[in-house]
């Protein structure tokens, strides 16, 4: 359940930033950014904090290689689905939602990896602590 919550928050973060509909931060900034500059800056900073938290946790837990492996696995699954005709490539909006979904999956896995690893292996990850 904890993974689903972390993934859902990552999905909301990515979808709030950009999605193929008109309801996203980037389109809102293009249309209203200068008229509501304080709200634009506040919204951008809130999203930036979310990205810093998720990206830092993801790269600390699975690293660039892990991110690449998760992306490669997702690409292979999509390739298989397209190959067998279960997923089409003609729907641009669906492809864009898939990109948001895959990005959120990478961030959700990265955010949850230490917990998943501890449950699988019984070993806990510990951050480096400076010794005085």
Q: Which pLDDT tens digits describe the chain residue by residue (132 residues)?
A: 789 999 999 999 999 999 999 999 999 999 988 898 999 999 999 999 999 999 999 999 999 999 999 999 999 999 999 999 999 999 999 999 999 999 999 999 999 998 888 888 877 666 555 544
**DSSP reduced 3-state for 131:** coil
Where are the chain's structural domains? 2-117
CA distance 53 to 59: 10
Six-digit token pair at 84?
């067998």
Note whether 96 and 5 are within 8 A (CB): no
Question: What is the reported pLDDT for 85?
Answer: 95
Question: What is the reported pLDDT for 114?
Answer: 82
Question: What is the reported pLDDT for 127?
Answer: 58
Q: Whole-model pTM?
A: 0.85
């Amino acid at each position: 359940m904890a993974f689903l919550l972390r993934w859902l928050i990552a999905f909301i973060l990515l979808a709030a930033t950009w999605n193929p509909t008109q309801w996203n931060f980037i389109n809102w900034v293009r249309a209203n950014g200068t008229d509501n500059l304080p709200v634009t800056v506040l919204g951008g900073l809130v999203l930036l904090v979310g990205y810093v938290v998720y990206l830092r946790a993801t790269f600390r837990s699975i690293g660039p290689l892990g991110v690449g492996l998760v992306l490669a696995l997702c690409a292979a699954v999509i390739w298989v689905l397209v190959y067998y005709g279960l997923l089409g490539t003609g729907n641009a909006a669906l492809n864009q939602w898939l990109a948001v979904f895959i990005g959120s999956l990478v961030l959700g896995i990265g955010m949850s990896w230490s917990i998943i690893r501890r449950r699988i292996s019984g070993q806990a990850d510990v951050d480096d602590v400076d010794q005085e």
